[in-house]
Amino acid sequence: MNIGGISQYTNILTEMNALNSDITETTNFEAKLKQAMNSSEQAELKEACEEMESYMLSMIYKQMRNSITINEADSFLPKGDYEKMFEDFMVDNQVENMIDAGGVGLANYMYKQLSTQTLPAKYYSTVV
């Protein structure tokens, strides 16, 4: 009796959950950005831009990690689902630390661009 298909099924479910999580994050960001643009508040707009930079850097680092991982079928000890989840949390935490330290500058550029379109002219001089 071959029960190898069960692990395939759990891997598919894990990947589907990760995709649903990404879609939820994107939807939450879009709603937050629209709210910030409508309310014309600097702090909300800045926070939405930082959240976008965080999401983008997180995706970049996760893809970089995926591109260098070894073939798990050939590995002596293949990674489990919890180890993959921990690695994702670790990347997200590292990205948050990067954003707190100033990030790569994407949030500032987005903030400058969006603030000229949404904020009243009195705020332009305070855009960093």
Render each residue's pLDDT in the chain as its tens digit; 128 residues.
455 556 565 666 677 666 666 666 667 777 776 676 665 577 888 888 899 999 999 999 888 887 876 666 666 677 778 888 898 899 999 999 998 888 888 989 988 888 887 656 555 555 55
Sequence-distant (6+) residues with CB within 8 A of 121 are none
What tokens appear for 25 in the block? 């994050």
Whole-prediction pTM:
0.57
Nearest Cα to Cα of residue 106 among 62, 38, 48, 64: 48
What tokens appear for 89 in the block? 């949390």
Query: Do residues 106 and 56 lie in contact, with contact meaning Cβ atoms separated by under 8 Å?
Result: yes
Helices 106-118 + 42-68 axis angle, to 10: 150
User: Which amino acid makes up residue 93?
Assistant: N
